Amino acid sequence: MTNTQTSFVEQTGIEGLVVINPIVWGDERGYFYESYNQQLFEKHGLYYNFVQDNQAFSTYGVLRGLHYQIDPMSQAKLVRVVQGEVLDVVVDLRSLSPTFGKVYSLILSEKNHKQLLVPRGFAHGYVVLSPTAMFVYKCDNLYSKQYEGGILYNDPQLNIDWLLPESDLIISPKDQQQALFDPSNSPF
């Protein structure tokens, strides 16, 4: 078996937001990797108690986001794609962070096996770039509708490049009506 490992933890320049490059062992039969190993994460200083796993199937152009949950139900997430390809996007909403308001994006796919560890205090969303995609993620807190919030996907201040023409985007009515980013009123 061949190991396609680069560096397990890749820094993004935003405190707490890291790309995980799992150790992938592959040969002519396919591949194997541990998508989560608590001991390995803790060895790299990543201490999380994940309590909920989620899975979403979507077709090309589906954009989900930008979502977050406020305290006491805020969530850290470990996100990945097991089938297809997405552009994953986060916005730092932590008002005391030096990268407050900064957007970070990364392509996650079944081929690159990358994962994004998103700490609490971020808005999160993604758009499907392939014909279909299966998106899975772990959360360190339970979902609560009462504490959910969002930012409009095409907020002019954030100026996110979703990599697809606007005419290809499929967005829920709820996500089309999210609030604009307001730096003076951060929930974190």
In a domain, 44, yes or no: no
**pLDDT of residue 1 exceeding 90:** no
Q: Tell me the pLDDT tens digit for each residue of 128-174.
A: 999 999 999 999 999 999 999 999 999 999 999 999 999 999 999 99
The total number of structural domains in the chain stands at 1
State mean pLDDT over 87-96.
98
In a domain, 99, yes or no: yes
Structure tokens at 60: 């090309």
In a domain, 10, yes or no: no
In a domain, 77, yes or no: yes
Q: How far is CA 83 from the centre of its chain?
A: 15
Query: Which pLDDT belongs to residue 134?
Result: 98
In a domain, 9, yes or no: no
In a domain, 7, yes or no: no
Looking up residue 144, the CATH number of its domain turns out to be 2.60.120.10
What residues are labeled active site? 67, 137
Q: Which domain holds residue 128?
A: 15-21+49-185
In a domain, 124, yes or no: yes
In a domain, 140, yes or no: yes
